[in-house]
Structure formats: structure tokens, C-alpha cells
Amino acid sequence: MKKVGLKEIAEYVGVSIALVSYVLNGQAEIKQVSKVTADQIKKAAKQLNYRPNQIAKSLKMLKTHTIGLVVADINYRFSTGITRAIEAEAKNANYTVLFGSSNENEETFAELVNVLINRQVDGLILVPAENTQEQIKMLQKAEIPFVLIDRNFPEIKTNHITLDNRKAAYDATIHLVKQGHKRIAFFNYKTTFNHLHDRNRGYQDALKDSNIVFKPHWLKEINSVNRQAEMQQSLNNMLNGDEPCDAAFFATDTLAISGLKYLNKQKIQVPQQVSVLSFDESEAFELFYSPVTHLRQPLQKMGQAAVSTLFELINHNKINKQISFQSDLVIGQSCRE
């Protein structure tokens, strides 16, 4: 008897192979497949005696000794660092890592997850893009082993490996306060991500605990698609107002690079005229004349924890792990003493 595949079902129903794949992968709702069509495909699969050899069943019953990894943007230092850590840990267990970059795009993220599932990876490690909650819920429903890293959605109970972002931002702000700074500006992205909101909270909590009255215009939220232009305007407002800020704390390395570019262009001296602190480190900091004080994430430990947690899931252990790591403050010369 000829083996029935997606092609045969598609021809039988009169739809595309991709549509059949979406329905049988549990993505009908996400891909906006009508209920009538989805029911026709499921009925045809049953009538033709379709035997799936992928998706959740293959992940449970077979092992390919590969894991899938989706990062946000391979150009980020965090992404390259976490990828190296995950690859090294997986290699120790004779596993291969297949990875892709979503480029912070929710559709690309969903496509990559689907491709990796169809490649029959044993499990997934994911840095989710914004607004991908439904994709995460689909993975849970299909019982596919996965671990979120760096980011999570608090409303969805998942296994995840993250940083204590609130405490990291809190400690960094306290460091600036102890250096004598009273007017500290904080630059973050305009986002729905909880981990970046936690950085806002840590910054504001540190000011409150230091008896510094927070002023709303100190918190600058930058649109990622217009980062450089908005950064220039925000720094101008910060430095040229009636009470100019004496320190700039950047919530990510990409924001810090944008800020340093503009400060350098305007010949504003760091730290003589303004102190600078970055949440993450960047190789680009090495090109700046003043070593930048920054927070360093324990990427190797986070990668190892993600792989070990995923292996527990692959071995069908029902676990519920939410692991939070602490960052280190690396003192440079960009903050006035």
C-alpha cells in the first residue's frame, strides 16, 4: 500500500500542501484556516489512513539528536553568546543545534518554529519575538518540548531561563547614585516585553529608595524602527534642558551604541560631561575611548541551564522550571566618580 503523505491529502481535498501542514501541525487557528477547511483536511487524513511521522508524535517516540534554537537577532552579542553556549553544551551530549534568527518578526518566528518541528528536532530553545504568545500556546497544546530563554510571557506558565532584570537595573542605578548622580536618564525600547519593563521598574525603584524624585521625562522610550533619530532627540532634550541629566543609563547594548555615537559626534565628553552605563556589553565598546561600565549577563550558565532543562523535557519528565540568573556589574571608566 502506498504511503499517504501531505501531498495526497492536499490533492484529495483540493488545497495546498502548506494548508494541510498547518492543520495537521495544530496551526490552523494561527494561520487563519477556516473551520470548514480544517475539518475537511482532518477527515481526509483519517479516511486515507494518514500516519504522521512528525510533529508531536515523532518528538515523543523518536530521537534525532538535534535541537532547534530560534534567537531574536543573530547580530546581537547576546544572541551569538547564547548560541555558542547552547551549541557547546549540546555537543557534550552528542546533540546538534539547528538555529535561525527571527529578526524580531513574529511571522518569521512562527515559520522557523514550524520548519524546525518538521525537521523532527527533539525539542526547542526559543527567544520569543514580540506577540508570539499564540505560537507558544500551540507548542504547549502539541506537547512539544521547549524552553524559553531571555524572555517569557508571565501570563503563560512555561519553562524558562531568564535574568533578574529588575535587580540588575536596580543595582546599576544604585551604582550611579553612589557616584553622586542625582539626575539619571534611562533609555529603553518602547515594547510590550516584560523583561524590558522589569528594567524600567528596577531603575525607578532604585531612585525611590535613594530618595530621588523620579521625573517622567527622565525615562526615554525609543521606537526600534527609528532608533538613531529618536535617540538624538532624546539625548538633546536630556542634556539641554533647564536641569540637564548628569548620567545616561541605556537598557540594551544597541541603545548604548546609538547613544555613544551621538555623544561622540557632538563632542560631549564621557564621563566629564555625562556618565554612561549600559545594561549589556558590546564589542563596539572597545572602540570607544572610555571603557564603558556595563552589566554582564552569565550567558554560558544560561545556555547550560536551557539545554539541561530541555533534555529533562525530552526525556518526558514533567517539570516546571523558572530559573533566574543574576548579572555582574563590570566597572569601566565611563561613570564619573
- What residues does each domain of the chain span? 6-52, 63-163+299-326, 165-297
Tally Cβ neighbours within 10 Å of residue 46: 9
CA atoms within 13 A on the CB side of 127: 26
Percent of the chain scoring above 90 in pLDDT: 73
CATH ID of 63-163+299-326, from 3.30.450.20, 3.40.50.11540, 3.40.605.10, 3.40.50.2300: 3.40.50.2300
Residue bearing cell 524580531 = 104
The answer to whether residue 17 scores a pLDDT higher than 90 is: no
Tally Cβ neighbours within 10 Å of residue 124: 23
The answer to whether residue 57 scores a pLDDT higher than 50 is: no
Contact residues for 281 (Cβ-Cβ < 8 A; gap 6+): 77, 253, 292, 294, 295, 296, 330
At the topology level of CATH, where does 6-52 sit? 434 Repressor (Amino-terminal Domain) (1.10.260)
> What are 162-196's pLDDT values in tens digits?
999 999 999 999 999 999 999 999 999 999 999 99
Q: Are 122 and 148 in contact (CB under 8 A)?
A: no
Residue bearing cell 545556555 = 303
Q: Which string of b and e fits 51-60 if b means at least 16 CB within 10 Å?
A: eeebbbebbe
Q: How far apart are CA 256 and CA 292, in angstroms?
A: 9
Query: Given this model, what pLDDT does residue 59 score?
Result: 47
The answer to whether residue 260 scores a pLDDT higher than 90 is: yes
> What are 58-91's pLDDT values in tens digits?
444 468 899 999 999 887 888 999 999 999 999 9
Average pLDDT over all residues of the chain: 91
**Residue 306: what are its φ and ψ, rounded to 5°?**
-65, -45
Q: Is 180 left (phi over 0), alpha (psi -120 to 50) or beta?
A: left
Query: Which element (helix H / strand E) includes 124?
Result: strand 124-126
Tally Cβ neighbours within 10 Å of residue 15: 18
Q: What is the DSSP letter of 154?
A: T
Nearest to 252 by CA among 292, 213, 218: 292
At the topology level of CATH, where does 165-297 sit? Rossmann fold (3.40.50)
> What are 281-325's pLDDT values in tens digits?
888 888 899 999 999 999 999 999 999 999 999 987 788 899 999
CA–chain centroid gap for 70, Å, is 9
Domains 6-52 and 165-297 share a fold: no
Percent of the chain scoring above 70 in pLDDT: 95
The answer to whether residue 106 scores a pLDDT higher than 60 is: yes
**Residue 184: what are its φ and ψ, rounded to 5°?**
-105, 120
> What are 194-242's pLDDT values in tens digits?
999 999 999 999 999 999 999 999 999 999 889 999 999 999 999 888 8
Query: Which element (helix H / strand E) includes 236?
Result: helix 227-240
Sign of CA pseudo-dihedral 68, 73, 79, 80: positive
